[in-house]
Every structure is written in C-alpha cells, then in structure tokens.
Amino acid sequence: MKKASYLLLVVLAFTLSSCEIIGGIFKAGVWTGLIAVALVLGLIIFFISRTGRK
C-alpha cells in the first residue's frame, strides 16, 4: 500500500507544477470561506428575525 502511495506522489510531482497545486488549494479555500461567511450571515439574520418577532 505504501508503494502505491509513493508512486502516486512521484507521478503527481512530475505531472503537476507546484503553482497548479497551490492554486487549487487557494481556490478550494476561497469557496470554503465564501460558504462559511454565507452560513454565518444566514444564521445571524435568522436569529435577529426570531428575536424581533417577540
């Protein structure tokens, strides 16, 4: 199992440049951040609307 992992790592190292890998990580981070912000804003609006009804 370890041999397969090392082989995959070597193949990825030669086929992808480091810039592409870092770019992919940052793209995933941006989308994760946007989704997290949207969820937090949604929760804040939800709680404000619930307390405003009383």
pTM reported for the whole predicted model: 0.50
Please report the DSSP string for 1-54 in residue order: -HHHHHHHHHHHHHHS-HHHHHHHHHHHHHHHHHHHHHHHHHHHHHHHHHHH--
Per-domain boundaries in the chain: 17-54
Q: What confidence score (pLDDT) does residue 38 get?
A: 94
pLDDT digits over 1-54, tens only?
A: 677 777 777 777 776 666 766 777 788 888 888 999 999 999 999 999 988 765
Angstrom distances, CA of residue 38 to CA of 19, 30, 33: 28, 12, 9
